[in-house]
């Protein structure tokens, strides 16, 4: 364990005031949640908002709702490189995962394969605005409308981001966000589901009618965890949890066992002041995205989205190792993402009968992310610049000069 300033890979700070609001939320219960839902309806300009226990719970619920509407369809098409919670939610909703390879320059679908991947069995497509980079929503909506397929935006990592002037999450038939730690705004754990569709909302109200809420003991335990999270997330203290292997921080695991509940009053209370936190946090993420783009010579002249993490394809596993080891020594928060493509997740791999997705595989093998969050200090930014400069001038075999997230579409960065 290294006792030194250690930057977490992703973070959404919340202050003492939010923590105190958690107590008020505990007392107010569902009223606190309803108030947040009203604020979110206003912010997103949508008719229906559901606050639930996590992003994966939100996805599970909306998929169950779609299944009520179109029970003859059973497949959900997702990018082959994404968070393991996405296939876990699909399985939890009793549906089948279908995969499309990714475009490694955007982490969006590879549109050479997308059209064929959407077929008569496809209930919906779930594009992912991974890292905050918008998927090509016009293209996806166009094709899916023609084929009568729903579009559910996975905006778990993209709250507050936009695509052609529209808020991400509100462009498809429905969208969801994560309020987990390390997202754009957090209350420890939570999910937001938004839709303008009356049909989907009706099915969702039916799904949500029987949802439970955490009991008081669970709430108190969660509150203590939140206090610890608020404290140890700070770079001055993060070395401690980061050095405890049993916490398994940053590890990606597949699990179909997760609560599908309403967001608790306590967590809704902690969300008080979320809009200001979100706007401020994203403004800082945007600034850090621009700086990192500058260090990596990525063109941002057409705008930079507020990236939740800055993705960098290192070109080889070895180059990635060099970067990660150097970052760990200096406590700079550069980290790997998902360890394998969805088709290689051991719990579900047999479903894909040996099919391969080369770009998703390559991303799993070579991707790192750089931190962009508001806890990054001027000194951290300087240290990141120094490290990148050192590695680029030494140029370890295969380390690409450009960030791997960046092609010419609105809201994206441009290499």
Three-state secondary structure call for residue 88 = helix
Structure tokens at 242: 């980061």
Q: Which is nearer to ligand PLP, 86 or 117 (CB)?
A: 86
The whole-angstrom separation of Cα 142 and Cα 245 is 46
Q: Which of 167, 183, 362, 409 is catalytic?
A: 183
DSSP 135: P
The yes or no reply on residue 369 touching ligand PLP (CB under 6 A) is no
- Window 15-54: contact mask with ligand PLP (x via CB under 6 A): ---------------------------------------x
What 3-state DSSP class applies to 153?
Answer: strand
Contact call for residue 156 and ligand PLP (CB under 6 A): yes
C-alpha–C-alpha distance, residues 138 and 136, integer Å: 6
Given the DSSP bridges, would you call strands 150-154 and 122-125 parallel, antiparallel or unpaired? parallel
Stretch touching ligand PLP by CB under 6 A, among 151-159, 269-277, 296-304, 337-345: 151-159
**Close Cβ partners of 377 (under 8 Å, ≥ 6 residues apart):** 235
Rounded to whole angstroms, the Cα distance separating 385 from 6 reads 16
| Cβ-based burial of 210 (10 A; exposed 0-12, middle 13-18, buried ≥19) | exposed
Binder of ligand PLP out of 55, 134, 281, 404 (CB under 6 A) = 55
The one among 154, 173, 207, 219 contacting ligand PLP by CB under 6 A: 154
Evaluated on CA atoms 320, 326, 331, 332, the torsion sign reads negative
Residue closer to ligand PLP by CB (options 169, 235) is 169
Q: Which is nearer to ligand PLP, 92 or 290 (CB)?
A: 92
Token digits for 8?
């977490």
Closest to ligand PLP by CB, 93 or 388 = 93
281 vs 315, beta carbon nearer ligand PLP:
281
Quote the CA–CA distance of 291 and 186 in Å, as a whole number.
24
Phi, psi dihedral angles at 194 (to 5 degrees):
-130, 145
Q: Which of residues 59-118 bind ligand PLP (CB under 6 A)?
A: 82-83, 85-86
**DSSP symbol at 134:** P
Active site residue 147: no
What residues between 178 and 197 interact with ligand PLP by CB under 6 A? 178, 180, 191
Minimum CB separation from ligand PLP for residue 178, in Å?
3
Cα–Cα distance, 137 to 317 (Å, whole number): 32
Cβ-closest position to ligand PLP: 55
Span 287-306, contacts to ligand PLP by CB under 6 A: none
Indicate the residue among 54 and 289 with the shorter CB distance to ligand PLP.
Answer: 54
56 binds ligand PLP (CB under 6 A): yes
Closest distance between ligand PLP and the C-beta of residue 135, in Å?
11
Distance CA(210)–CA(239), nearest Å, equals 42
Catalytic residues: 183
- Residues at the site binding ligand PLP, with contacts judged by CB under 6 A: 54-56, 82-83, 85-86, 128, 130, 154, 156-157, 178, 180, 191
């Amino acid at each position: 364990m290294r006792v030194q300033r250690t930057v977490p890979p992703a973070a959404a700070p919340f202050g003492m005031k939010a923590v105190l609001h958690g107590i008020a939320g505990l007392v107010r219960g569902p009223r606190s949640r309803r108030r947040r839902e009203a604020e979110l309806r206003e912010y997103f300009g949508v008719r229906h908002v559901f606050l639930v226990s996590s992003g994966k719970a939100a996805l599970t619920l909306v998929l169950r709702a779609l299944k009520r509407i179109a029970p003859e369809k059973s497949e959900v098409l997702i990018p082959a490189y994404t968070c393991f919670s996405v296939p876990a939610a699909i399985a939890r909703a009793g549906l089948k995962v279908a995969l499309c390879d990714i475009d490694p320059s955007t982490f969006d679908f590879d549109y050479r394969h997308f059209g064929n991947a959407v077929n008569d069995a496809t209930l919906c497509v779930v594009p992912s605005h991974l890292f905050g980079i918008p998927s090509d929503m016009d293209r996806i909506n166009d094709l899916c409308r023609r084929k009568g397929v729903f579009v559910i935006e996975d905006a778990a990592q993209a709250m507050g981001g936009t695509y052609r002037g529209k808020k991400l999450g509100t462009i498809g038939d429905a969208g969801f966000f994560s309020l987990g730690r390390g997202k754009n705004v957090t209350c420890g754990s939570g999910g937001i589901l938004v839709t303008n569709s009356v049909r989907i909302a009706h099915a969702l109200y039916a799904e949500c009618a029987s949802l439970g809420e955490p009991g008081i003991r669970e709430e108190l335990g969660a509150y203590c965890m939140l206090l610890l999270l608020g404290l140890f997330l700070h770079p001055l203290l993060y070395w401690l949890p980061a050095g405890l292997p049993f916490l398994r921080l940053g590890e990606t695991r597949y699990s179909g066992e997760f609560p599908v509940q309403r967001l608790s009053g306590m967590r809704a209370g902690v969300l008080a002041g979320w809009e200001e936190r979100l706007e401020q946090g994203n403004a800082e993420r945007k600034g850090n995205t621009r700086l990192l783009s500058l260090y990596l010579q990525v063109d941002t002249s057409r705008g930079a989205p507020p990236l939740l993490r800055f993705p960098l394809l290192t070109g080889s596993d070895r180059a990635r190792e060099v970067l990660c080891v150097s970052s760990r020594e200096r406590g700079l928060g550069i980290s790997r993402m998902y360890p394998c493509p969805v088709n290689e997740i051991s719990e579900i791999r047999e479903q894909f009968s040996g099919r391969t997705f080369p770009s998703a595989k390559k991303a799993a093998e070579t991707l790192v992310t750089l931190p962009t969050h508001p806890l990054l200090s001027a000194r951290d930014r300087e240290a990141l610049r120094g490290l990148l400069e050192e590695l680029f001038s030494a140029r370890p075999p295969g380390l690409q000069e450009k960030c791997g997230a960046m092609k010419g579409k609105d809201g994206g960065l441009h290499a």
